């Protein structure tokens, strides 16, 4: 199913965010209206199988490899979990998958059969937190990949990808900061955006894209507190000796 209309009240979301955050209100007014290019209601298995293919390579190369993987199935569609477990490593390597990706795909298939990875119907009834917990148990799948699934596959309204570079740099642009926030800082700041953190994140991406590389490349990494090294005992910080009576 393809649908660019989010499954939540966008007007209510923008009104809420604008009332809670003046800078975000300005951004909402000055940029394009929120939309997800396409919400593909795919099963977690199908979405994550494709996501594993895309890891660390270009989209064009990943699409070519994924087409070869699908060609290995009996139907020419995405291999079922059962088929994936039966596919031999040499055939998958020939399709263009690395050893790590093959192990990840087979783990995904096994966890789908075992019921750890839910069906689409089950996923739609589960909370974001429960889905993240279930899906990151799959080898090679991190929180960011699951968050993108929640946003772009399920259209969940309250997802904040705190490790996403575009969101962090977009935040720095929007709020006039020279440094990116730490994930912990962004998570705390994003509390004001609940329950529409997906929409706020989307506008951070827009701010990042609109600013351009000339500006965003100047944004520095997050500040981290440096621990002061313990000073060795010296002339002025040596513990005082107790005087003993003679």
Residues designated as active site: 164
Give the pair of three-digit tokens for residue 31.
């940029």
* Region of residue 223 (phi > 0: left; psi between -120 and 50: alpha; otherwise: beta): beta
Give the pair of three-digit tokens for residue 54.
């895309």
Separation of CA 236 from chain center: 51
Strands (DSSP E) contained in 11-105 are none
Give the pair of three-digit tokens for residue 214.
């000339």
C-alpha span between 197 and 188 (Å, rounded): 12
C-alpha span between 214 and 31 (Å, rounded): 19
C-alpha span between 13 and 170 (Å, rounded): 19
Helix, strand, coil shares of the chain, percent, nearest 5, are: 55, 0, 45
């Amino acid at each position: 199913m393809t649908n660019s209309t989010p499954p939540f009240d966008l007007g209510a979301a923008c009104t809420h965010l604008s009332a809670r955050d003046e800078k975000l209100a300005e951004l909402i007014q000055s940029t394009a209206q929120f939309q997800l290019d396409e919400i593909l209601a795919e099963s977690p298995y199908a979405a994550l199988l494709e996501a594993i293919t895309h890891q660390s390579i270009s989209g064009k190369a990943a699409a070519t490899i994924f087409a070869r993987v699908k060609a290995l199935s009996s139907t020419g569609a995405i291999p079922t979990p059962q088929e994936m477990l039966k596919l031999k490593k040499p055939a998958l390597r020939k399709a263009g998958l690395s050893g790590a990706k093959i192990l990840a795909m087979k783990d995904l298939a096994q966890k789908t059969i075992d019921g750890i990875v839910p069906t689409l119907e089950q996923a739609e009834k589960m909370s974001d937190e429960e889905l993240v917990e279930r899906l990151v148990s799959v080898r090679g799948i991190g929180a960011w990949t699951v968050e993108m699934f929640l946003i772009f596959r399920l259209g969940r309204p309250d997802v904040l990808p705190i490790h996403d570079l575009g969101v962090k740099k977009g935040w720095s642009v929007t709020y006039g900061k020279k440094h990116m926030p730490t994930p912990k800082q962004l998570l705390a700041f994003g509390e004001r955006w609940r329950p529409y953190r997906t929409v706020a994140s989307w506008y951070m991406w827009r701010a990042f894209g609109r600013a351009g590389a000339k500006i965003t490349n100047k944004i520095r990494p997050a500040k981290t507190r440096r621990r002061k090294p313990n000073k060795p005992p010296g002339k002025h910080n040596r513990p005082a000796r107790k005087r003993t009576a003679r």
